[in-house]
């Protein structure tokens, strides 16, 4: 990472810390969860369908459909009961069903995209905040996209673009409301070879997870920012 090291202090180990990663059954979320375990964290893997997910032995699985507020509340209740703390929330779960311009996009696609990509993380974060704010260095990492940058709204995938601008707005709000104690950041992982990104994408899952994991390890550092490859980028 090229960020000035004087502005960032990382935890050498996440031993004793607890992390929740949504959409942890595949792609970038799966990789983030595995790397956080590797750094010593107790990781809860949030997945919509636990029965279809064969979790690693070192992760704890939560049934968590982020579009269902009752799942969010129950997930945080379980973490509180079992761990009594939450240090890191990674809002990774997201969808991009179609790429039409707005006038061609079905209303149900708009609703599903905004509910999953904006409302879901916002509600989950609401329920996570009481636990997060009890810790010394709480972090929220929101998976966004360069397609959500306001200066890059150049057409196509209307609902997805607007939803990622919305998750950036949530990040800025969290920083304004709860920073600097809570360090909330958005990250663009780039075009990654996942089910969403497709096989022709230019980046590996490992590369896509690199900056989110780095942000999740902040002991101290900038909050309320939009990052790519360890560098702050424009909203």
Active site positions, annotated = 160
Report how far residue 44's alpha carbon sits from residue 81's, in angstroms, rounded to the nearest whole number.
Answer: 13
Residue 119 DSSP one-character state: I
Report how far residue 83's alpha carbon sits from residue 96's, in angstroms, rounded to the nearest whole number.
Answer: 33
Report the 10 Å Cβ neighbour count for 15: 10
Determine contact, residues 43/19, Cβ cutoff 8 Å.
yes
Q: Which residues contact 212 (CB under 8 A, 6 or more apart)?
A: 28, 32, 90, 92, 141, 143, 187, 189
Cα angle at 74 between 69 and 78, to 5 degrees? 150
- Backbone dihedral region for residue 126 (phi beyond 0: left; psi -120 to 50: alpha; all else: beta): alpha
Closest C-alpha to 157, from 114, 118, 187, 119: 114
Report the 10 Å Cβ neighbour count for 1: 13
């Amino acid at each position: 990472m090229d960020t000035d090291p004087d502005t960032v202090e990382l935890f050498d180990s996440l031993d004793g810390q607890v992390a929740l990663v949504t959409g942890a059954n595949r792609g970038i979320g799966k990789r983030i969860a595995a790397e956080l375990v590797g750094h010593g964290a107790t990781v809860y893997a949030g997945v919509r369908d636990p029965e279809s997910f064969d979790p690693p032995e070192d992760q704890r699985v939560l049934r968590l459909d982020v579009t269902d507020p009752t799942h969010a509340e129950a997930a945080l209740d379980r973490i509180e009961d079992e761990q009594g703390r939450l240090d890191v929330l990674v809002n990774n779960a997201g969808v991009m069903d179609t790429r039409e311009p707005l006038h061609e996009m079905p209303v149900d696609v708009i609703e599903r995209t905004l509910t999953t990509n904006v409302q879901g993380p916002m509600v989950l974060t609401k329920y996570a905040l009481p636990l997060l704010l009890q810790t010394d260095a709480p972090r929220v990492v929101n998976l966004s996209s360069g397609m959500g940058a306001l200066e890059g709204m150049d057409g196509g995938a209307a609902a997805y673009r607007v939803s990622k601008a919305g998750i950036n707005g949530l990040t800025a709000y969290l920083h304004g409301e709860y920073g600097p104690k809570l360090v909330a950041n958005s990250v663009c992982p780039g075009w990654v070879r996942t089910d969403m990104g497709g096989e022709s994408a230019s980046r590996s899952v490992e590369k896509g997870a690199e900056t989110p994991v780095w942000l999740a390890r902040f002991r101290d550092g900038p909050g309320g920012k939009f990052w790519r490859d360890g560098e702050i980028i424009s909203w």
